[in-house]
């Protein structure tokens, strides 16, 4: 049994800052770390200042925010739905977002804000449909939270089928645009995007941390939750909605970055965290570090080609999961 020590927090924060500093420094044009810090203060070569402040820093921050949002969302969903496989993408968020994005690509809109907005609207719509389906499936207020899980998976599967149907008759350019979007990328980072994503993550992530004790109670099952004064159904839906909105904001900002929401909470638990208040926070920090590292790899492994961010996170996630399975076997 691992015990989480207080200094692990320092380690998590230090790891994030270290990888972020490297990510700002490395790329097509590598900048020494000392020059990075100078440029952050507005000193030195104007080209370096532009690279650091306008290109790399927003990209690194966007990656960190996407990872933080997905990590926190996954931790909250796994606890409240009592399922170690629960993650935002499994529950329809990604499918809905992709449907939204594919529709605007198919209509010929490729403008940044159009795709972002469509993805966000698509994922929120999918989540609302999942909530509605679970209510119908449960025939009444006393819905089992497992129904919600199943409803999310079904809506996600339907959305994936809808994407395939839409893409089957689409123009090659539409298919290409949609596929690239679905592979996830932090390349389109800019300060306004970082700004609204940061606000979404602080608000929704803060809400999850506020309700984290309730997630602890929910993770004991519905009857025990009721005996401790928590209406499991109402509270579970609330956590589901907040976590899904959080994930939807990340998807709108950077497309589909798979596996982070699934794997990161397990890493946090491996470090010895059990209660959800620290768990959600640690999952956010680990998720941020993982996505910044994955984005750094995406940019630097095979230059000048940029590898898809979503594929890198999955490539990192699968071996981790296999190792986890081996250890628990």
Partner 1 sequence: MITVSDLVVSYPSAPKNAVDGVSFVAASGKLTALAGPNGSGKSSIVRALLGRADVVRGSVSVTGNDVRTLSLTELARRVAVVPQREEAAFPTRVSEYVALGRYPHLGLWRAASKADDAVVSDALEQAGVTTLAARDTDALSGGEWQRVRIARALAQKAPALVLDEPTTFLDVAHEMAIFELLSSLARSGLAVLLVSHQLNLVARFADTIVLLNDGKIAISGTPRDVMKADRLESIYGWPVVITHDPAVGAPALVPLRRPLTL
Q: What 3-state DSSP class applies to 190?
A: coil
CB of 206 to partner 1, least distance (A): 12
* Closer of 139 and 326 to partner 1 (Cβ): 139
Q: Minimum distance from CB of 79 to partner 1 (Å)?
A: 7
DSSP character for 305?
A: S
Nearest approach, Cβ of residue 57 and partner 1 (Å): 34
- For residue 168, report the phi and psi dihedrals to the nearest 5 degrees: -60, -35
Residue 307 — φ and ψ, nearest 5°? -80, 155
Q: What is the DSSP string of 223-264?
A: HHHHHTT--HHHHHHHHHHHHHHHHHHHHHHH---TTHHHHH
**Is the CB of 231 or the CB of 300 nearer to partner 1?**
231
Residue 319, helix vs strand vs coil:
helix
Neighbours of 59 (CB within 10 A): 25
Minimum CB distance to partner 1 smaller for 65 or for 268: 268
| DSSP code, position 86 | -
Kindly tell me which of 59 and 266 has the beta carbon lying closer to partner 1: 266
Q: Which one, 214 or 295, has the nearer CB to partner 1?
A: 214
Residue 20's CB is within 10 A of a number of other CB atoms, namely: 21
Q: How far is the CB of 10 from partner 1 (least distance, A)?
A: 22
In the complex, least distance from residue 69 CB atom to partner 1, rounded to whole angstroms: 21
Name the nearest CA neighbour of 273 among 72, 36, 50, 28: 72
Distance of CA 6 to the CA centre of its chain: 26
* Minimum CB–partner distance for residue 78 and partner 1 (Å): 7
Residue 20 or 218: the one with the smaller Cβ distance to partner 1 is 218
Q: Are 288 and 68 in contact (CB under 8 A)?
A: yes
Which parts of this chain interact with partner 1 (CB under 8 A)? 1, 78-79, 82-84, 142, 210, 212-214, 216-217, 219-224, 226-231, 269, 274-275
Q: How many residues does the chain have?
A: 329
Nearest one of 284, 280, 308 to 294, comparing CA atoms: 308
CB of residue 236 to partner 1, shortest distance in Å: 12
CA atoms of 78 and 98, how far apart (whole Å): 23
CB closer to partner 1, 59 vs 82: 82
């Amino acid at each position: 049994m691992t015990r989480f020590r207080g200094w692990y927090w320092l380690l998590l924060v230090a790891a994030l800052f270290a990888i972020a500093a490297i990510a700002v420094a490395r790329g097509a044009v590598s900048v020494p770390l000392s020059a990075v810090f100078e440029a952050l203060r507005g000193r030195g070569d104007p080209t370096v200042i532009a690279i650091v402040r306008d290109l790399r820093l927003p990209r690194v921050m966007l990656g960190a925010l996407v990872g933080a949002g997905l990590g926190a969302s996954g931790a909250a969903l796994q606890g409240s739905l009592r399922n170690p496989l629960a993650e935002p993408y499994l529950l329809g968020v990604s499918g809905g977002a992709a449907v939204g994005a594919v529709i605007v690509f198919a209509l010929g809109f490729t403008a940044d804000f159009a795709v972002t907005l469509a993805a966000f609207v698509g994922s929120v719509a999918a989540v609302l449909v999942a909530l509605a389906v679970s209510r119908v499936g449960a025939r009444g207020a006393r819905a089992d939270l497992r129904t919600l899980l199943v409803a999310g998976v079904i809506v996600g599967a339907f959305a994936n089928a809808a994407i395939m149907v839409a893409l089957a008759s689409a123009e090659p350019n539409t298919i290409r645009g949609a596929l690239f979007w679905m592979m996830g990328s932090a390349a389109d980072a800019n300060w306004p995007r970082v700004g609204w994503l940061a606000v979404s993550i602080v608000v929704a992530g803060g809400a999850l941390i506020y309700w984290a004790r309730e997630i602890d109670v929910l993770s004991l099952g519905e009857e025990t939750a009721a005996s401790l004064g928590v209406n499991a159904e109402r509270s579970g839906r609330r956590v589901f909605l907040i976590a899904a909105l959080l994930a939807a904001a990340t998807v709108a900002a950077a497309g589909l970055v798979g596996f982070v929401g699934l794997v990161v909470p397990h890493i946090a638990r491996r470090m010895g965290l059990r209660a959800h208040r620290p768990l959600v926070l640690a999952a956010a920090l680990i998720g941020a570090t993982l996505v910044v590292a994955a984005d750094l790899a995406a940019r630097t492994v095979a230059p000048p080609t940029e590898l898809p961010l979503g594929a890198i996170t999955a490539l990192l996630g699968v071996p981790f999961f296999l190792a986890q399975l081996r250890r628990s076997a």
